[in-house]
Structure 1
Amino acid sequence: MSLLKIENLNVNYGGIQAVSDLNMHIEQGELVTLIGANGAGKTTTLKTITGLVKPKSGTLLYQDQDIRKTEVHKFVSQGLVMVPEGRGIFPKLTVVENLDMGAFYRKDKAQIQADIEYVMTLFPRLKERAKQLAGTLSGGEQQMVAMGRAILSKPKLLLLDEPSMGLAPIIVQQIFDIIQTVHKEGVTILLVEQNAKLALQISNRGYVMESGKITMADKADVLLNDPRILSAYLGG
């Protein structure tokens, strides 16, 4: 079943049409990547899915429910969770307090503690810095906090907006390893990423966005070997 289905979505943002007639679907259990140049409309698409930007027209179905009028704060409890570009952590809270915030809606205290331990095994660096203020961490460590916090909210559909941005290559590889691990444990993922090669290598399918429109959609391995993708995004 389609966990997320978008049909003929149009979004105006900042006085321009940022998204035009967008059609996209994500099936339960998939890892789907959305690639495109800066300003293509990728982040606007994610913000529209999560209610931060209201669409001009079109259909947005999550778990077969129309979510266009859902209040933003209700999405997390429904399993729709985003790790935003720039991470959006709480700098004056410790690492553990940030993780706790991810479990804000949950009541299963013993399981929350177990899940925090699980995140610490995924990100050993966070275990070392558990009581450190998140604002004093490196960019890579802050990305780990943001992803760990999302995991604590028990997502059904996890939206990741540019998780590798500004990070050293060795940290980028760690982040992508974690994305694969989370996906293998049953979380459906929509990944927006400028590192097109890495993103497509771990994805089931991909969409290419240009000037607010989806211009290509196919299996990830097909896109990886497409000459147009190679020249535009993969340095070929």
Structure 2
Amino acid sequence: MCSNHRGITLLSLPGKVYSGVLERRSVGLSNLGFRRSNMVPEKWIAGGVCRCSVRLDGKTVLVTGANTGIGKETCRDLAARGARVVMACRDLVRAEQAAEKIRRSTGNGNVVIRHLDLASIYSVTQFAKDFQDSEDRLDVLINNAGVMMCPRKITEDGFETQMAVNHLGHFLLTNLLLPMLRSSAPSRVINVSSIAHQGGRIDFDDLFFTKRPYSALGSYRQSKLANVLFTRELARRLTGL
């Protein structure tokens, strides 16, 4: 899903890594609780590799959940293209280990780490303030971090963890950084979702499973659906801006 408006491009992508890049047509089997089998044709998990050679020198890219998986490989590719890469992670030790590997493999020393806990409103708010105070631009925001099918846990702010980390934290972060994205136009916001959103249903009367039995998969699915709906609505509101 991609919407283009003056200055900011909004995308919502189901994510999988192919040779260090995002493959937008991929299916995250683990997200659905399936293993590779005849139920899932190979054509749904196969895809092309981005061969674009565009450089990103002078651009600043912020990636959440950047120390492993899709986030880490995305950072590696961006760094190889010359971008300044800001890795926003909860675990700074693992983040620094990942950042150092990226610096060494790409030769780009302009890869930095910052602490961000998307389960905490305070952490997100403080991160956005510090980022705007220390950085002079933001060309791309990649909302990648997430948790999947974990036991029910309530955050310090009273939110169910999967919804808090996968959607609410990114919702707040994006809105706090919108002025900076606008001032750096043309800019881009990428929300990494999952095909699991297709089975999602958002119960606004019981968003955090306080009235009904908790479902780890159901919670994950609704958080991924929220990613997609947020992308669509943000794109609509930015039309003409």
Which structure exhibits the higher relative contact order, with contacts defined as CA atoms closer than 8 Å and separated by 6 or more residues?
1
TM range (shorter): 0.3 to 0.5
The TM-score with structure 2 as length reference comes to 0.35
Question: Whose strand fraction is larger, Structure 1's or Structure 2's?
Answer: 1
